[in-house]
Amino acid sequence: MAENKKKVEAITSMDVDFAQWYTDVVKKAELIDYTSVKGCMVIKPAGYAIWELIQKQLDDRFKETGVENVYLPMFIPESLLQKEKDHVEGFAPEVAWVTHGGLNPLQERLCVRPTSETLFCDFYKNDIQSYRDLPKVYNQWCSVVRWEKETRPFLRSREFLWQEGHTAHATAEDAEARTIQMLNVYADFCEQVLAIPVIKGRKTDKEKFAGAEATYTIEALMHDGKALQSGTSHNFGDGFAKAFGIQFTDKDNTLKYVHQTSWGMTTRLIGAIIMVHGDDNGLVLPPKVAPTQVMIVPIMQKKEGVLEKAAELKTRLASFGNGIRVKVDDSDKSPGWKFSEQEMRGIPLRVEIGPKDIEAGKCIICRRDNGEKVEVALDALEETVASLLEQIQVDMLERARTHRDEHTYVATSMEELSEILDTKPGFVKAMWCGNQDCEDSIKEKYSATSRCMPFEQEQISDVCVCCGKPAKKMVYWGRAY
Amino acid sequence: MAENKKKVEAITSMDVDFAQWYTDVVKKAELIDYTSVKGCMVIKPAGYAIWELIQKQLDDRFKETGVENVYLPMFIPESLLQKEKDHVEGFAPEVAWVTHGGLNPLQERLCVRPTSETLFCDFYKNDIQSYRDLPKVYNQWCSVVRWEKETRPFLRSREFLWQEGHTAHATAEDAEARTIQMLNVYADFCEQVLAIPVIKGRKTDKEKFAGAEATYTIEALMHDGKALQSGTSHNFGDGFAKAFGIQFTDKDNTLKYVHQTSWGMTTRLIGAIIMVHGDDNGLVLPPKVAPTQVMIVPIMQKKEGVLEKAAELKTRLASFGNGIRVKVDDSDKSPGWKFSEQEMRGIPLRVEIGPKDIEAGKCIICRRDNGEKVEVALDALEETVASLLEQIQVDMLERARTHRDEHTYVATSMEELSEILDTKPGFVKAMWCGNQDCEDSIKEKYSATSRCMPFEQEQISDVCVCCGKPAKKMVYWGRAY
């Protein structure tokens, strides 16, 4: 029993200490484990299965837009990393360097890719000759390394898993269109699959990607009122193409530089799921990324026929429609323990079935997201479960949207901005003059950053919240992960 | 037209220069590209799509046996790598070392994983406490690095993609059973999915994995008569468990060491597909791993109705059964170019459809594997294509098996062994006394290695082919990749 207890013992309340609550959840829902490799984590089966569902559904959406997957080396020779000036400045301070191969020192040291723009450019330089070769719309699923000082599971680690799309186009318009297209794929994926509403917008120059002309972002609000950048899409213009000499012969028979984009999403999304949907009983998974969607818990399972009935219901659910992901917990723990475990792991639905239920031809279904219990006739089990899973997906998005909207404020002065950030954390909408000094000042004074200049602009006031000069843009500000 | 020509110009004949033929195929079928990173390759869309099909089908088979996927760090601290003596001796000479993180030297250098036994042991040490925690049957899909001097696309590169399964069991029997179970999964996968017949057996001590008690292997024969080790499964006994202190409390309340296994398959399988099935026109893909199974080539496509009919046939095929993977080549190249391209890329079936065919309500279907053409009524298209794809899969395995059997010889003396290896390359079955000196001698004299001691033993003679002492095992010998 000691072992069972370990799993279901109370976790820190999120209102008491959100950071500790997060750590408790990732450990007790068995998503990750720490390792002897500082700043790196083990993603355990319960965590990796979420990532597999994210990968599958995101990859399907990519392929619908014509994306092809490839794989490029994990190493970047130092001279290659240095070819684009802004890019190397942004990344060189935080890469891991390989200096020896086997027993010998390398002639040129290699960094472990922190991102692969330079490798794709080096590849495209030879692969692209003619307008007929364009566009190239390639993506890879891999791990990358950034030598972070402070790390937290899923949110910031020295190695993380992601996808990175890298495209090349004949015109600036095509590149911009793909940049926005992928941002929309990301936003739609977050809302429809992860049940996380996002703000779409453009990063300020201060916050954009090293080497990009424009960086677009989707920003989500966590339960504690902090923002999480959840996906980014960059338009490089022809900057990398000029640095690497990526030219093609166009239809008019002249040599032109390609226009490029890149876009990425990472295992950080699992952190977002935890912090948007979780509660004091643990993880709460949206059905579309729940490795197990239904846990059947037999009551008085030693009574004749109970385990058989549970197994029968499992088979029925597993073969319904496209297949519901279902398990039976037939371990020798008590039902109470099993309930707590199912809740900790965030499994969307629990089906309780005991001898009396069987006699009455019914069962109890309990929702993880809101705790509601319903009695359901066994004949109607499949339809009810399928429709509840759909409903949960919808309700979770709606609840997250309400939370986000209730924690989005407006500030027209530095005093207001300060008060909001200190007393009721969330997004703060405020006007900005476009000058980086004001951004720096807000960051320094309130530890808040510009999250994005949203596509949906509002005219809150005419002047910059910081300097009082004429305002150019409405910006979402916030403290962020 | 220059661009088209590049793709379909003649490749070196395999009989003239097999190595050059191989290089031509990987380049012209657009499977890979070379990079600025010495010894590493780009896997292009046509190559990566094959790997995705391999991954999906292998992963499904793993999961049917209870395997769970995880992800462990790519770095191994030097002290961790050194914990198991044989293992570090085997791998330390060929790893890449990270010595700097960002701008600072590391306190302890890290190697990029060449394989992850030590990381899994470090993880299991904490994760396994009780017999209730066993077995652990984990796997990860990732890339690994081995600092090879000579490299060849897919066959031997400094970085390659693979899966590595790592399991822990309560008893030696359970570990041995899992080792063999996974070898059987591999063998079945090679035969049923890749259409490659394999010899299952055990490696000699000289050839076994660094740190293993026993290594089992599947060995395939390439078209040129050389062997390719295509998958291995290792039983570690409790050697690693003792080195790392991985103990559990058994049912009898005593502390015991776990027994472990590992098993892996790599992108090398793509090399095997090329070298077993390819011909002088390029790649020949088994339908189950062909990203495109059918290429529809419209004839006189500018005539009214031809492209529309091709598109209609595509839609019909794509929605038949579980979906046939089909494309239409409606580019402005000539049909002849399109045929050559489809052949170079190894697409199993080509459907030719022109104005006369449409009028007659039929089309031509041509098989890539044997060049056979059949005329098919359009009404019967889906059924015919589906059944041809099945037939090709069967025929390709059968053809590869015949080639393998016809190139498997018996030697009872060193003279015979030598003559076979020099004049008609293939597997050579010969008896062995069990002494490593004889193995060394055969390797030194004939550049042939013991591929395996097959499970299906035969008593070819009573004495060792090398030293004449009493024989213990029949061994498959061969020159290998």
CB-based contact B99 A94, cutoff 8 Å? no
Tokens of B363: 């089309």
Instruction: Give the tokens for residue B427.
Output: 């597997």
- What kind and span of H or E run contains A20? helix A18-28
To test the contact with chain B by mutation, choose from A53, A89, A94, A97 the residue with the greatest count of B C-beta atoms within 10 A, namely A97
Domain boundary among A252, A277, A302: A277
Give per-residue pLDDT as tens, A223-255: 999 999 999 999 999 999 999 999 999 999 999
Candidates B52, B101, B123; nearest CB to A35: B123
- The alpha-carbon gap from A42 to the nearest alpha carbon of chain B, in Å, equals 5
**Do residue A73 and residue A181 come from a single domain?**
yes
Q: What is the mean pLDDT of residues A118-140?
A: 97
pLDDT for the residue A8: 55
Question: Between the CA of residue A120 and those of A125, A241, B131, B203, what are the distances in Å?
Answer: 8, 11, 48, 40
Hey, are the CB atoms on B93 and A102 less than 8 Å from each other?
A: yes
- Are A386 and A420 in a shared domain? no
| Distance to chain B for A361, nearest Cα, Å | 32
CA A403/CA A223 separation, integer angstroms:
8
Taking a C-beta distance cutoff of 8 angstroms, is the pair B96, B110 a contact? Answer: no
> DSSP letter string over A295-359?
EEEESSTTSTTHHHHHHHHHHHHHTSTT---EEE--SSS-HHHHHHHHHHTT-SEEEEE-HHHHH
CA distance B454 to B448: 16
What is the H or E stretch that residue A232 is in? strand A227-237
Closest CA to A262 of A197, A326, A216, A307: A216
- Domain presence at residue A67: yes
Instruction: Compute the residue count for chain A.
Output: 481
CATH number for the domain spanning A469: value is: 3.30.110.30
- Of A391, A419, A438, the one marking the end of a domain is A391
CB contact under 8 A, B142 and A143: yes
Residues in chain B with pLDDT values less than 50: 1-7
> Does one domain contain both B420 and B311?
no
Domain-located, residue A383: yes
| Residue listed under structure tokens 């499949």 | A382
**Chains A, B: CB contacts under 8 A, how many?**
152
Q: For position B8, what pLDDT does the model report? A: 56
Residue type at A85 in one-letter notation: K
Residues of A in contact with B44 (CB under 8 A): 70
Domain assignment present for A128: yes
Residue A282 lies in a domain: no
Whether A446 and A353 share a structural domain = no
pLDDT in tens, A456-480: 999 999 999 999 999 999 999 999 9
Of A3, A42, A138, the CB nearest to B72: A42
| Residue A147 with chain B: CB contacts under 8 Å | 101-102
| Exposure class string for B268-305: b at 16+ Cβ within 10 A, else e | bbbbbbbbbbbbebbbbbbbbbbbbbbbbbbbebeeee
Q: What is the pLDDT of residue A4?
A: 43
Average pLDDT, whole number, for chain A? 96
Q: A75 and B40 in contact by Cβ < 8 A? A: yes
Residues A206-216, mean pLDDT to the nearest whole number:
95
Rounded to a whole number of angstroms, the distance from the CA of B362 to the nearest CA of chain A is 31
For residues A45 and A132, state if they share a domain: yes
Question: Comparing C-alpha atoms, which of B120, B480, B404, B432 is closest to residue A44?
Answer: B120
Same domain for A74 and A202, yes or no, is yes
Minimal CA–CA distance to B12: which of B2, B4, B3, B22? B22
Domain presence at residue B282: no
pLDDT in tens, A132-160: 999 999 999 999 999 999 999 999 999 99
Residues A309 and A271 in one domain: no
pLDDT given at position A10: 81
Residue A161 confidence (pLDDT) = 98
Is A236 found in the same domain as A350? no
Residue A40, CB-side half-sphere exposure with 13 Å CA sphere: 23
Name the closest residue on chain A to residue B69, using Cα atoms.
Answer: A45
Look at residue A31 and tell me if it is in a domain. Answer: yes
B49 vs A contacts (CB less than 8 Å)? 68-69
Q: What is the number of structural domains in chain B?
A: 3
Report pLDDT for B3: 43
B122: how many CB neighbours lie within 10 A of its CB?
23
Please state the pTM of the whole predicted model: 0.96
Span A428-456, mean pLDDT? 97
Burial of A59 (0-12, 13-18, 19+ CB in 10 A): middle
Range of the domain at A129: 2-277
Nearest-CA distance from A140 to chain B in Å? Answer: 10
Closest CB to B70: pick one of A45, A71, A98: A45
The partner residue sitting opposite A3, judged by closest CB among B35, B68, B130, is B130
Per-residue confidence (pLDDT) for residue A85, from 0 to 100 = 87
Of A41, A77, A142, the CB nearest to B36: A77
Please answer yes or no on whether A147 and B102 come within 8 Å at the CB atom: yes
3-class secondary structure, B417? helix
- Residues with Cβ within 8 Å of A254's Cβ and at least 6 positions away in sequence, in order, are none
CATH number, residue B31? 3.30.930.10
pLDDT computed for residue A3 by the predictor? 43
Of A37, A73, A112, Cβ closest to residue B40: A73
Of A40, A68, A73, the CB nearest to B37: A73
pLDDT value at residue B360: 97
CB contact under 8 A, A33 and B100: no
pLDDT of residue A2: 42
Cα–Cα nearest to B385, from B470, B296, B309, B306: B296
Same structural domain for residues A451 and A329? no
Residue in B98, B124, B128, B139 to test binding to A, most A beta-carbons within 10 Å: B98
Q: Scanning every residue of chain A, which has its alpha carbon at the shortest distance from the alpha carbon of B77? A: A37
A75 → closest Cβ in B37, B75, B99: B37
For residues A189 and A266, state if they share a domain.
Answer: yes
3-state helix, strand, coil in chain A (%, to 5): 40, 30, 30
Contact B68 A48 (CB under 8 A): yes
Q: Is the ipTM of this complex over 0.90?
A: yes
Q: Is the pLDDT of residue A7 over 90?
A: no
**Interchain pair B145, A74: CB under 8 A:** yes
pLDDT of residue A86: 87
Q: Is A159 exposed, middle or buried (0-12, 13-18, 19+ CB in 10 A)?
A: buried
- A100 vs B contacts (CB less than 8 Å): 96-97, 99
Considering only CB atoms, which chain B residues are within 8 Å of A3? 129-130, 132
Return the sign of the alpha-carbon dihedral for residues A196, A56, A116, B30. negative
> In chain B, which residue's Cα lies nearest the Cα of A123?
B35
Task: Give the model's pLDDT for residue A87.
Answer: 86
Contacts of A101 in chain B (CB under 8 A): 96-97, 147, 158
Contact (CB, 8 A) for B435 and B182: no
Phi-psi category of residue B59: left, alpha or beta, with phi > 0 → left and psi -120 to 50 → alpha = alpha
A397 is a domain residue: no
How far, CA to CA in Å, does A228 sit from each of A69, A179, A453, B154?
A: 27, 20, 15, 39
Residue B111 lies in a domain: yes
Both A141 and A203 in one domain: the answer is yes
Locate B387 and state its tokens: 């059944």
Tell me the angle at which helices A45-64 and A172-192 cross, rounded to the nearest 10 degrees: 140
| Residue that is last in its domain, among A360, A391, A422 | A391
Smallest Cβ–Cβ distance between B36 and the set A44, A52, A80 belongs to A80
Inter-CA distances, B371 with A13, B340, B347, B349, B374, Å: 69, 12, 12, 9, 10
Same structural domain for residues A228 and A296? Answer: no
**Among B438, B461, B462, CA closest to B450:** B438
